[in-house]
Structure 1
Amino acid sequence: MKVAIVVFDGVMALDVAGPLDVFAEANAFLPRDQQYEITLVGMHSESVRCSNGLELKVGIDYLQYEDQPDLLLVAGGPRLPDLCPPNSFLQWLRTQAESCARFGSVCNGAFLLGHAGLLDGKEVTAHWHDVDRLALQFPDAYVQPDKIFVRDGNLFTSAGVAAGVDLCLALVSEDWGHEIALRIAKRLIVYIRREGGQSQYSPYLAVGPKEETVVAKVLRYVTDNISEQLSIEQLADAVGVSRRTFSRIFAKHANMTPSAFVEQIRIDFSRKLLGETDLPLKTVAYRCGFHSSSQMRAIFARRLDTNPSEYRQRVRRQTSAKSGGEFRDASTPMRAQNLTSKFSEVRAA
């Protein structure tokens, strides 16, 4: 199966490496004549420099690419929303998309598809930082701001960075079955599929149907005592086992350490409070068990690549956009004509 991934100067390295690793791992389980054949297709045939400085060797540019891929993916990049692609590239992209079985984008690669007119009338998603601008720039697209990935016919679009792995796992599952995708996910130490949207990060989503008991008890205890400074001893007591036994069992069932689990739940609670209340940041931090608002800010930066204030503003823009005086539900697809004038000045990515 032939896969073409479109890259360019400033591409996000993980947008390329994530899908590459998924397909490479899939090949380990597949007969040679059924493996994925991946080609990086560039704007030009030289190497491209990723946004993090990494150089990727690109053996062919789009003008030289004569194969017909079964899957065409467009990677994203921090500056991609500002890119003005040449008409020859957009025509090539349209031709490839119309003739291949499946096509799509990772992160904000959807902007290139939009320039080619491939998002019109389609349900799509992108990185949370760019969904507002995507809706404004391509008003005929139905932008889903809170989805990990979206399928509309043979078009697949995914949210930011790591969601490209989710997307490719889903594609492999479609091609070769859930069991192969699950084995790949375990090798890459990722979820087989994260449920819900970009606003949902909770680690308990990784719990399987036969593994709920221990993690579910811990989850209930942590949520009931979220403002407390929770120790491993307290968590072990909550499930009635020793600390050593607890650490071993929990790591097996949740695929993460207890401390990482607790930290993620604190983040989820803080995100809820930030989005649904006007509580000061210090109060949010206290109620969610952080030592201080500074600690909460540092964890947001490390985990979510944003800060609490920016996150609150972002959620408010998504969930409180008005049309005709009524609040729009966050799960409702966004179209540019439904957005208020406060989106007229969109910050470049």
Structure 2
Amino acid sequence: MRTVEDPRPEIADRTARLLAWATASMAPAGVAAADIADRLAASSEGGKAFRGRLLLAAFDGCGGSDREAALELAAALELFQTAALLHDDVLDGSDTRRGRPAAHKVFEAQHRDAGWHGDAAAYGRAGAILAGDVALVAAQRGATLAARRVGDVVADLFDEMAALVTAGQHLDMRVAVSPVDALPGLERDIRTIMRSKTASYTAEFPLALGAAAAGASAATVSSLREAGLPLGAAFQLRDDVLGLTGTPERTGKPVGDDLREGKRTLLVWHAVTAGDDAQRAAVLGVLGRADASADEIRAAIDAITASGALAAVEEQIAREAARARDALGAALPDASSVLALVDAAVDRSA
């Protein structure tokens, strides 16, 4: 099995090539192309390339030989992630990403500083959406280049992933504006969001794409998709925990942003179902309130912890990670690199 100590430089190189292709394609649009290219270059920096690395680990674990195809797919995944983040920040109204102003805020500031006509905030949102669209085009380009080398199955998987994640994002929006007191269906909806929006492109499809690029059997690809679901769930649950217990320096976003945005997470669900009246009131009092103060957010976080929600989610992370490890060990001839990434995803502090 071929292994690379840290494939991130290779992934970054292929990502830069795809962005260069997009920049050249946009060149006739002049300054508008430069605006978008600048935002894409900045937005694609600073990540851990977890998805691309997971794809390559699955590729290596299945004994793949055409590493160029696998690297194209890894870069395509990272650009898909860039597009998702650009769009998510607009949909969620998030002002920061990875410790820097979100793309829509940069476009907004450009409009305001130049003294242009119209609504600066609307211009910023539109610019970020269009930049995300170009990132998607570049991601699809990478998947197409890989498919030319290893077959159409990787393109089919990539397209399926893109459609599912988009629908998952819409479900996330629907649930976020639904009454939180609709408790009987809330847990189901939260788990459906985790499966369709996060688990799909964080683990399920990266694993499947890596195996398909290696020429693995349909049965192996299917087994890895199944193994990716608990891994993706553990990844999302860890993100939810870090959103409450992490620091802005580590997570790149203000503590409690998920609460202000009204995100329905299992932490929230546990707190409003298992907490006492005071704990429930503290959580519901900030949920979806963009103007919630730091003290109110801290009180809500303390209530979530005191309700037992944090401990319950930590237990679930451990269970999901164990399921993923068992399934991956059974599906891959050599699962060592993939299992190392499982540990990194579950145990991360940012």
TM-score, length basis structure 1? 0.30
Structure (1/2) with the larger strand percentage: 1
Highest CA radius of gyration, 1 or 2?
1
TM-score by length of 2: 0.30
Larger RCO, structure (CA 8 Å, separation 6 or more): 2
> Larger % of helix: which?
2
